[in-house]
Structure 1
Amino acid sequence: MAEQPAWIVHLEYMLSQYYKADIKIMEEFIEILSKPTHLKVTVVVKKGSLSEPEQFVYFVKLYENIVPYHIRMDLLAKFVKEVDLYTVALPAIKEFQKAGNTYALPYDQIFPSCIGARLSTKSNMPDETGVLILENLNEMGYTRPDVRAGLDLETSKLVLHKMAHLHATPLAMKFLDSDLDLFKQKIVPCLVEVKYAKEPFCYQDVDRLVNDGISSASPYLKPLKVLVEQAKEIAWRGKKYDDESWLTMCHFKFSIFNIMLKYDDQNKPVACKIVDLQALNYTHLCTDLIYFLFTSVNTSVLMSNFDNLITFYFDLFTGILSYYKIYHRHTREGFLKEFDEEGPNMIIEILQMLPYISGDGYEQDGDPILGESFKKKLNDIMRVMKSRKWIEL
């Protein structure tokens, strides 16, 4: 595992490039966060010789080099991917929006701002000098939402607003002939799916989840097992799409774990940022929407507002496309058809996440405890799926 650095290599140069000023670091403090490659870096700097000292706090990711002569390809690939997204893809989308004089939300505002990024000071391959410097959202008042409580209706709509922007703007680039080459050159290479050696928040034993979560006497047990087997077969074969008009930049398993929220004095949500960009990929936009709804929205809110939330997202999505003068490419009827086709295929991913949002604590080996909260959550989800006719009793 990488050791904590005493300082960030060439940090003065990176800050000078970002602030477009001659930066002199007076003091630098480094604090390890959740892992040795995730740091809180505090600097006191002067911008030019006559300025007063200023303090800045950043969130820093380092390339996670495990041991010499052993390469974890998933760690290497996801670091390259996130750096390329910030240095190649997002600037290209920004130029696309600028050239079109669009009224859509500036795309880079849905993510943490990047102060600086590089793979290495020596080559084009990540090494111990690889670094990604982002604004520190915690210092700006953002917090992680309560995973077990789930999101209320107002907060869910705020997140769906960001999700719609995440999906619509890259799709607009793909649709417009003048920008298709830019999309292929700058965006697509950054969306290659990375296979993780161990996926985060992913409970592997799906069959146990089904048997522990649904009573043997429940009418949901047999339909759920059928649904899981069908999803396994589709995952094994690979999903192919005849209509690519719904494929765009998505977030691998978009959930409550991948967002940070800011609240006002009345505890109302006012801002949202999508984090962990190494998880972005190119797939069907409904996979993000379905996964988010079932894993992140408070269950009672979901059950009473399911259709409302789907409609809310679609209206936002098509409204954003209209900023780019793209009309009538996606109908409500077509969207609902796509949504209901994708829904049953997502059952395994949803099941694998549920223990982490509804488990009753953790076992000594780190696995979540599958208690009554998990069972209730799963049965509530089955009721929603039945209402969509994804399962038949």
Structure 2
Amino acid sequence: MQKKVFGSATTFLKEINAYRSVNVELVKLQRERGVPAEEVCDPLPRYYGSQVNSAGDDSVAADDNAVLLLENLASSGYRMADQMAGLDLPHARMLVRKMAQFQASAVALRLLKPEVFKNVIEGKCKFDSMPPEEQKRFSDVMVEHMCRLPEIAPFKDKVKAAFERLSDLPFAKLWAEVVEPFASLSHNDLWVNNMVFRYEDSEKPTDVKFFDFQTLTYSSPVRDLVFFLYTSLRYDLVRNSVDELTDAYYESFVTWLKKLGCNTEDFTEEKFRKEIDRIAPTEIIHILMILNVMCADDHEKFSAHNMQNSGPTFSSSEMYRKKVLITLQDYDARGWLQENYTSLRRLLCILRLDVHVLLQFYKRIKYLSHVPLI
């Protein structure tokens, strides 16, 4: 079942390409541009080797003999965070900065070595789409489950409308639409279980590595940022630190482009904010889906028996309900659940009003007064 859903026969090839080719070219570019060895962004485990199939033919699909051999990060002091609790601010700051450097390196490769980028990333990091009927079925049963949760009542109609709009669009458009200038690499599954942090003499992290690149796609890097912020932060930080971490990502992204010798005039903060506004509304299904997996109590976690007989299972745990509520509150406060959000933003621009300032103002009022956002 998992091989079918995740398209393992082809996504395994993408995973190997991430270690064997993509990261190699990104590190090589940094060294060519004079980045000191101690500052090189290299956030992937060391790659030792791989086998796609028993025939040793990398041009065909992977089979049950596929193997990927990577560095044992645990022996170097790396460990995974608690997926239920989520990351605190020091861990989140480290991750968004490292992610920004990695994705900015991919943009630099596109700008400075376009032929290499075309061969290694654009040509091989294509999205493997879920069949439309499976996408629609999963969306329908998920929204049906969520609407039974009492905490969701104030957002039920908006959630239904959002799911209906998105389920009519193919995942290939949602996850793989390329829009300049920020077009880069998107991990597409960058949550707390796909990263490990290194510790030395204290509980403060000193480095981070991420992995599981089966869904690596030539797309928008902002998709990873939004997905990470709403799935992997400690739940109270969603209310207080999303903007700080978004700013940290953008600053690191532009700074790294400059470090690699790229012209950054086109990478304005205004365009970055527009990219967030374009991407964030399309990530809500993805976010709520993974929160369901992350927050499931032990007795709710699916098994092969469940999947074969009754389809996907859904969590009703206290943490799941809490995280879903906070996510929907923040999405609603930012206007990302509204069908006409783009039109509203354009109107405010015509009136020379700052949509982000206004949304933050209303967001604070909403959290303080617990009244619906007008």
TM-score, normalised to structure 2's length? 0.76
* Identity %, equivalent residues: 24
Any idea what the Cα deviations from partners look like across 1:90-138, whole Å, max 9, x if unmatched?
A: 322333223322359434x200011223435744244566432211012
Report the equivalent of 1:81: 14
Query: Which structure has more helix as a fraction of its residues?
Result: 2
Structure 2: distance between partners of 1:230 and 1:339:
18
Which of 181, 187, 190 does residue 115 from structure 2 map onto? Answer: 181
User: C-alpha root-mean-square deviation of aligned residues, in Å?
Assistant: 3.0
Q: Residues 245 and 380 of structure 1: is their aligned pair in 2 closer, same or farther, counting only changes over 3 Å?
A: same
| Contact 2:143–2:159 under 8 Å retained in 1 | no
**How many pairs were matched up?**
320
Q: Residues 127 and 147 of structure 1: is their aligned pair in 2 closer, same or farther, counting only changes over 3 Å?
A: closer
Which of 110, 114, 120 does residue 43 from structure 2 map onto? Answer: 110
Report the equivalent of 1:329: 266
Any idea what the Cα deviations from partners look like across 1:115-170, whole Å, max 9, x if unmatched?
A: 22343574424456643221101222211110110000110011112211221001
Q: How does 1:363-378 map to 2 (within 5 A)?
A: 363=300, 365-366=302-303, 367-378=313-324
Which of 24, 28, 37 does residue 95 from structure 1 map onto? Answer: 28
Q: Work out whether 1:234 is the aligned partner of 2:180.
A: no
What is the letter of the counterpart of residue 96 of structure 1? L
Shift of 1:204: 7.8
Which of 245, 248, 272 does residue 208 from structure 2 map onto? Answer: 272
Any idea what the Cα deviations from partners look like across 1:177-218, whole Å, max 9, x if unmatched?
A: xx101111122233122347999xx998321342133447x3
Report the equivalent of 1:356: 293
Structure 1: distance between partners of 2:102 and 2:292:
27
Note the residue ranges of structure 1 that are not aligned, 5 or more in a row: 1-63
Report the equivalent of 1:389: 335
Structure 2: distance between partners of 1:298 and 1:88:
34
* Bigger RCO (CA 8 Å, 6+ sep): 2
Shift of 1:365: 4.6
Report the equivalent of 2:156: 221
Task: Using the TM superposition, name which of 144-153 and 97-106 deviates more.
Answer: 97-106
Report the equivalent of 2:281: 344
Any idea what the Cα deviations from partners look like across 1:212-265, whole Å, max 9, x if unmatched?
A: 33447x322222222222222334683485732222111122111210112233
Structure 2: distance between partners of 1:94 and 1:364:
39
Structure 2: distance between partners of 1:72 and 1:348:
17
Shift of 1:363: 3.2
Q: Work out whether 1:299 is the aligned partner of 2:235.
A: yes
Q: Residues 289 and 204 of structure 1: is their aligned pair in 2 closer, same or farther, counting only changes over 3 Å?
A: farther
Shift of 1:336: 1.1
Which of 49, 68, 73 does residue 137 from structure 1 map onto? Answer: 73
Which of 251, 256, 274 does residue 187 from structure 2 map onto? Answer: 251
| Contact 1:362–1:368 under 8 Å retained in 2 | no
Structure 2: distance between partners of 1:236 and 1:292:
18
Which of 128, 133, 136 does residue 194 from structure 1 map onto? Answer: 128
Structure 2: distance between partners of 1:237 and 1:103:
38
| Contact 2:19–2:44 under 8 Å retained in 1 | no
Task: Using the TM superposition, name which of 224-233 and 188-197 deviates more.
Answer: 188-197
| Contact 1:203–1:353 under 8 Å retained in 2 | no
What is the letter of the counterpart of residue 390 of structure 1? W
Report the equivalent of 2:96: 160
What is the letter of the counterpart of residue 74 of structure 1? G
Q: Residues 249 and 230 of structure 1: is their aligned pair in 2 closer, same or farther, counting only changes over 3 Å?
A: same
Structure 2: distance between partners of 1:225 and 1:350:
15
| Contact 1:112–1:273 under 8 Å retained in 2 | yes
Q: Residues 208 and 360 of structure 1: is their aligned pair in 2 closer, same or farther, counting only changes over 3 Å?
A: farther
Report the equivalent of 1:7: none
Query: Which structure has more strand as a fraction of its residues?
Result: 1
Look up the SS of the partner of 2:198 in the other structure.
Answer: strand
What is the letter of the counterpart of residue 329 of structure 2? R
Structure 2: distance between partners of 1:122 and 1:91:
25
Structure 2: distance between partners of 1:227 and 1:214:
19
Structure 2: distance between partners of 1:124 and 1:222:
50
Any idea what the Cα deviations from partners look like across 1:275-330, whole Å, max 9, x if unmatched?
A: 11223111111110010000000111121112111101100111111112222221
Look up the SS of the partner of 1:145 in the other structure.
Answer: coil
| Contact 1:231–1:346 under 8 Å retained in 2 | no
Larger radius of gyration: 1
| Contact 1:85–1:190 under 8 Å retained in 2 | no
| Contact 1:340–1:388 under 8 Å retained in 2 | no
What is the letter of the counterpart of residue 288 of structure 2? L
